[in-house]
């Protein structure tokens, strides 16, 4: 589960698409924010994928394409880099496909962990 600097906002323990939240933009339409993310305990070591998109209350502005953050919790940086490369080369911008990609990523990590033993 991830928490955010926006307040008590958490992702579900099981991967799924969730309802978003509203953020205001400046009068000129600009938006510049730096958010903190926290992997809440008990945090299993591994690679975590967070899919996000932006939308507007203005009907003339189309929603953004999904964008992704790949988090690393105590894995080798080479594994993190490989996961980022996988996400960059494999993404299809439908939410259900992202869940499939996450499942594939989890399978890869299980294979890496098995080889370490």
Q: What is the pTM of this model?
A: 0.64
pLDDT at 58 over 70: yes
Q: How far is CA 79 from CA 23, 39, 46, 68, in A?
A: 34, 18, 9, 17
Please give the Cα distance from 55 to 99 (Å, whole number).
21
**The predicted structure's pLDDT at residue 45:** 92
Conformational region of residue 46, where left means phi above 0, alpha means psi within -120 to 50, and beta covers everything else: left
pLDDT at 16 over 90: no
Average pLDDT over residues 16-24: 77
pLDDT digits (tens, 9 = 90+) for 59-77: 998 988 888 999 999 999 9
């Amino acid at each position: 589960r991830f928490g955010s600097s926006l307040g008590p906002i958490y992702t579900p323990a099981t991967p799924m698409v969730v309802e978003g939240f509203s953020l205001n933009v400046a009068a000129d339409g600009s938006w510049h924010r730096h958010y903190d993310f926290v992997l809440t305990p008990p945090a299993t070591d591994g690679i975590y994928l967070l899919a996000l998109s932006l939308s507007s209350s203005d009907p003339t502005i189309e929603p953004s394409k999904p964008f992704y953050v790949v988090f690393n919790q105590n894995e080798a940086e080479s594994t993190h880099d490989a996961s980022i490369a996988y996400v960059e080369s494999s993404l299809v911008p439908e939410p259900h496909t992202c869940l499939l990609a996450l499942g594939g990523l989890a399978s890869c990590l299980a294979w890496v962990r098995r080889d370490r033993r």
